[in-house]
């Protein structure tokens, strides 16, 4: 029971899709979730891959999410689109919003999209990568639950609030980063707790505001931003963009409405897409070639790599060899695909 | 000679303006530079205030900048404007670009501006603050000279690459941050060198790539990004936006064209402005009121403050009491205002 199971990407797709649809998640929602989950597993990010499948289902079983939600797209301005996810999951909302966002960016040069009333279980990078794969420069900002103290404070207020950025390349996958405003992801601290390992200083404070290396005390206290006050400023910026500007919720508002215990609370996101051919650097090819000159300079130094380079390696490997997931996780998803919910209902 | 001189804001304005125009800097350029310099001094940021005046003049005397440059505005797309600073200073380019950028943001919901062929001696926050004072959410990104090593590398490649963000408030000055992608500003390391003080570990590496607390060795080696690889990713993002997207130069390209010895090299900048009334959060008032709810939560915690709060305090004080600058700096600017260039030509 402690081994691993290897699945081809097609097998992983079939298994995840079957588990989701066996529990009332609509075909459209399930297709978008499955694509996101399998892509993330494929690219070597298991914490946001198939590991999340039970959470998607549990949140539906518990009546938190609307498993058949149909996102509604609003055209707010020549450069702004909004998607109301209608209490559903973020992958389908992103999928239906991506095309109008990209069209607006090409027409106006730059465009923005807010997504509200969505449950965001996923990594943020697939969202900007998809836009960069279409030749656009992209940003994404998503709030979370109140886990991180503001600079100088001791009580959780901000989410771990990642921002993601993607830059297209003429050949190969885009350059993409997706980074939390917190010093560590909450999941990472939870893994340290599970494994009985101390966390580094600077990652969290206990509930009295004192520095701690105890993951349990840190989870009960507050996480800290990365890079001191600068990370705290980025966390504040993400709250303002995803929460106030997009007309969604701040992390603390989301946490007040729904507890974090079994997956993300309802939330919102803000994205920006830019057409590199419209900003003054010449043709898209000229702008991207200029970018390549910088990447060559980075890679010319020993010990460097570009953001997402590790994911590109994992992707190539997974396409050839499939993905390897824990036996326990495989068995749980397989049971869910058979309609079994015992574990989820107890969870 | 080691004392200080107190000037009213009007006196500071007259002195700076006289010094700039005494050396061939055109009235339009001088007005924009003076406004920027005095505003920065007023807000308690002397490193980017009147201290920069000799640099503006020296760069003209040495034939680097075009002191009478007339910026040219290009309408690139419904959501994009570009300003060619024509080898002049950035304040005038920003001033002429701000209006079309704001108009586009209000019309399209979001708009972008690239500024190229500009010399950026100033802080970045006044640029986003001016847009936020008009009710817009704003970002700015500016490259620099090759001073910072990419993550994992040991040779300077990126600039200190600040990004700035501003959020309007219904009352009082906007919430604004302006932060370097480097662990410390280069000026701060130079002040440590001047004063014979060690720099903290993590700020710079020597030319062999080894950690150093010696500011001289750090300046000869490479500065480090803040917050590890995350700051490095932000530095890369700023290069791509200001350098490639806006059709400008990367920091290493700028450094190759012009040495850093006596002030900034030619460079470029990228800005984004967003109308809060067009993004789905309701009216501008509703969005800003929502922001205030978050600010109240931040300030409810002891020990916190909002970005720019310290500047707002300095501003109020300077308006009442004027600014205090070193006697030596005052005398140097006064000599420049009388047409004396001896120090600059030797410098």
Q: Write the DSSP string, B171-200.
A: SSSPEEEEE-SBSS-HHHHHHHHHHT-PPP
- Between strands A266-274 and A137-142, the pairing is antiparallel
Q: Measure B74 CA to nearest chain A CA, in Å.
A: 9
Both tokens of A266, joined, read 């309802």
Of all residues in chain B, the one with the smallest CA distance to A291 is: B244
Phi and psi angles of residue A182, each rounded to the nearest 5 degrees, phi first: -90, 160
Instruction: Find the catalytic residue in B28, B151, B188, B206.
Output: B188
Q: Which residues contact B154 (CB under 8 A, 6 or more apart)?
A: A301, A303, B205, B207, B208, B209, B221, B222
Say how many Å lie between the first and final Cα of chain A, rounded.
19
Q: For residues A125 and A118, what is the distance between their CA atoms, to the nearest angstrom?
A: 17
What sections of chain A are H helices per DSSP? 9-21, 27-42, 53-61, 90-108, 125-133, 186-195, 215-220, 229-238, 251-257, 284-299, 309-321, 327-337, 342-346
Which segment of A88-97, A209-218, A262-271, B197-206 scores lowest on mean pLDDT? Answer: A262-271
pLDDT of A8 above 70:
yes
Q: For residues B88 and B269, what is the distance between their CA atoms, to the nearest angstrom?
A: 14
Q: A155 and B301: CB-CB below 8 Å? A: yes
Handedness of CA A296, A302, A303, A309 (dihedral sign): positive
Of all residues in chain A, the one with the smallest CA distance to B105 is: A79
Q: Which residues contact A42 (CB under 8 A, 6 or more apart)?
A: A9, A12, A49, A314, A315, A318, A319, A323
Looking at residue A19, its pLDDT comes to 97
Distance of CA B231 to the CA centre of its chain: 18
Q: Measure B8 CA to nearest chain A CA, in Å.
A: 32
Residue B78 has its nearest CB partner, among A76, A109, A227, at A109
A47 is catalytic: yes
Across the range A263-279, mean pLDDT stands at 94
Looking at residue B344, its pLDDT comes to 67
Contact A251, A176 (CB under 8 A): no
Q: Measure A137 CA to nearest chain B CA, in Å.
A: 9
Looking at residue A48, its pLDDT comes to 87
Name the pLDDT band for A83 (thresholds 50, 70, 90). Answer: very high
Q: A281 and B137: CB-CB below 8 Å? A: no
Q: For residues B12 and B337, what is the distance between their CA atoms, to the nearest angstrom?
A: 12
> Which domains does chain A carry?
1-68+308-347 (1.10.1530.10), 70-182+225-304 (3.30.1370.60)
Name the pLDDT band for A240 (thresholds 50, 70, 90). Answer: very high
Across the range A165-175, mean pLDDT stands at 94
Secondary structure E strands in chain B: 4-7, 72-77, 80-89, 110-119, 137-142, 163-167, 175-179, 204-205, 222-223, 266-274, 323-326
Q: B276 and A245: CB-CB below 8 Å? A: yes
Give the gyration radius of chain A's Cα atoms. 20
Of all residues in chain B, the one with the smallest CA distance to A288 is: B244
Q: Measure A7 CA to nearest chain B CA, in Å.
A: 32
Looking at residue A260, its pLDDT comes to 67
User: Counting one residue from A and one from B, how many pairs have CB atoms under 8 Å apart?
Assistant: 243
Looking at residue B329, its pLDDT comes to 94
Q: Measure B159 CA to nearest chain A CA, in Å.
A: 12
What average pLDDT does the structure give for chain A? 94
Q: A294 and B177: CB-CB below 8 Å? A: no
Across the range A174-188, mean pLDDT stands at 93
Mutate to test the interface with B, among A294, A295, A308 (most CBs of B within 10 A): A294
Q: B112 and A274: CB-CB below 8 Å? A: yes
* DSSP label at residue A240: I
Handedness of CA B42, B43, B45, B49 (dihedral sign): negative
Mutate to test the interface with A, among B132, B165, B225, B245 (most CBs of A within 10 A): B245
Of all residues in chain A, the one with the smallest CA distance to B304 is: A152
B47 is catalytic: yes
A185 is catalytic: no
Chain A neighbors of B236, CB-CB under 8 A: 175, 177, 294, 298, 306-307
Per-residue pLDDT in tens (0 to 9) along chain B, 347 residues: 579 999 999 999 999 999 999 999 999 999 999 999 999 999 998 888 999 999 999 999 999 999 999 999 999 999 999 999 999 999 999 999 999 999 999 999 999 999 999 999 888 999 999 999 999 999 999 999 999 999 999 999 999 999 999 999 999 899 999 999 999 988 889 889 989 999 999 999 999 999 999 999 999 999 999 999 999 999 999 999 999 999 999 999 999 988 766 678 899 999 999 999 999 999 999 999 999 999 999 999 999 999 988 899 999 999 999 999 999 999 999 999 999 877 666 55
Looking at residue B122, its pLDDT comes to 85
Q: B230 and A231: CB-CB below 8 Å? A: yes
Instruction: Find the catalytic residue in A28, A151, A185, A188.
Output: A188
Chain B neighbors of A293, CB-CB under 8 A: 250
Of all residues in chain A, the one with the smallest CA distance to B273 is: A110
Looking at residue B346, its pLDDT comes to 59
Of all residues in chain B, the one with the smallest CA distance to A168 is: B240
Both tokens of B224, joined, read 């480090």
Handedness of CA B43, B47, B51, B57 (dihedral sign): negative
Q: B165 and A237: CB-CB below 8 Å? A: yes
Mutate to test the interface with B, among A160, A245, A251, A283 (most CBs of B within 10 A): A245
**Could you give the C-alpha distances from B46 to A298, B91, B192, in angstroms and in order?**
34, 17, 16
Chain B neighbors of A137, CB-CB under 8 A: 240-241, 245
- C-beta atoms surrounding A73 within 10 Å: 16
Chain A neighbors of B302, CB-CB under 8 A: 153
pLDDT in tens, A295-332: 999 999 999 999 988 899 999 999 999 999 999 999 99
- Between strands A175-179 and A163-167, the pairing is antiparallel
Q: Which residues contact A156 (CB under 8 A, 6 or more apart)?
A: A146, A147, A148, A149, A221, A222, A223, A252
Q: A179 and B244: CB-CB below 8 Å? A: no
Give the gyration radius of chain B's Cα atoms. 20
Instruction: Find the catalytic residue in B17, B23, B48, B120.
Output: B48
Q: For residues B218 and B220, what is the distance between their CA atoms, to the nearest angstrom?
A: 5
Looking at residue A190, its pLDDT comes to 87
Handedness of CA B120, B121, B125, B130 (dihedral sign): negative
How many Cα atoms within 13 Å fall on the side-chain side of residue A234? 30
Q: B79 and A80: CB-CB below 8 Å? A: no
Residue B245 has its nearest CB partner, among A236, A252, A281, at A281
Q: B246 and A281: CB-CB below 8 Å? A: yes
Q: Which of B194, B195, B219 is nearest to B206 (CA)?
A: B219
Q: A247 and B287: CB-CB below 8 Å? A: yes
Q: A80 and B233: CB-CB below 8 Å? A: no
Q: For residues B280 and B4, what is the distance between their CA atoms, to the nearest angstrom?
A: 51
Chain A neighbors of B152, CB-CB under 8 A: 301, 303-305
Q: Which residues contact B117 (CB under 8 A, 6 or more apart)?
A: B84, B85, B86, B87, B88, B248, B266, B268
Q: For residues A188 and B162, what is the distance between their CA atoms, to the nearest angstrom?
A: 29
Which segment of A115-129, A333-347, B245-259, B277-291 scores lowest on mean pLDDT? Answer: A333-347
Q: B245 and A274: CB-CB below 8 Å? A: yes
């Amino acid at each position: 029971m402690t081994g691993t199971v290897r699945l081809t990407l097609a097998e992983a797709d079939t298994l995840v899709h079957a588990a989701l649809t066996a529990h009332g998640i609509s075909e459209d929602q399930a297709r978008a979730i499955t694509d996101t989950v399998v892509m993330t597993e494929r690219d070597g990010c298991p914490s946001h891959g198939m590991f999340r499948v039970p959470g998607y289902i549990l949140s539906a079983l518990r009546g938190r999410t609307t498993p058949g939600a149909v996102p509604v797209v609003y055209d707010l301005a020549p450069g702004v689109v909004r998607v109301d996810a209608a209490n559903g999951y973020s992958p389908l909302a992103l999928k239906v919003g991506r095309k109008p966002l990209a069209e607006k960016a090409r027409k106006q040069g730059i465009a923005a999209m807010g997504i509200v009333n969505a449950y965001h279980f996923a990594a943020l990078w697939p969202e900007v990568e998809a836009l960069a794969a279409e030749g656009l420069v992209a940003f994404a900002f998503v709030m979370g639950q109140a886990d991180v103290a503001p600079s100088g404070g001791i009580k959780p207020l901000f989410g771990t609030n990642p921002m993601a950025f993607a830059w297209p390349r003429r050949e190969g996958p885009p350059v993409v980063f997706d980074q939390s405003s917190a010093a560590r992801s909450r999941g990472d601290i939870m893994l340290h707790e599970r494994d009985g390992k101390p966390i580094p200083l600077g990652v969290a404070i206990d509930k009295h505001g004192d520095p701690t290396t105890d993951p349990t005390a840190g989870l009960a206290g507050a996480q800290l931003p990365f890079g001191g006050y600068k990370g705290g400023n980025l966390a504040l910026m993400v709250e303002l963009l995803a929460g106030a500007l997009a007309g969604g919720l701040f992390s603390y508002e989301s946490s007040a409405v729904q507890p974090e215990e079994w997956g993300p609370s309802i939330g919102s996101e803000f994205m920006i897409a830019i057409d590199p051919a419209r900003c003054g650097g010449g043709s898209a090819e000229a702008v991207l070639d200029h970018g390549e000159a910088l990447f060559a300079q980075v890679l010319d130094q020993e010990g460097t790599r570009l953001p997402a380079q590790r994911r590109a390696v994992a992707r190539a490997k997974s396409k050839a060899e499939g993905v390897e997931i824990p036996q326990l996780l495989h068995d749980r998803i397989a049971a869910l695909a058979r309609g079994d919910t015992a574990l989820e209902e107890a969870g």
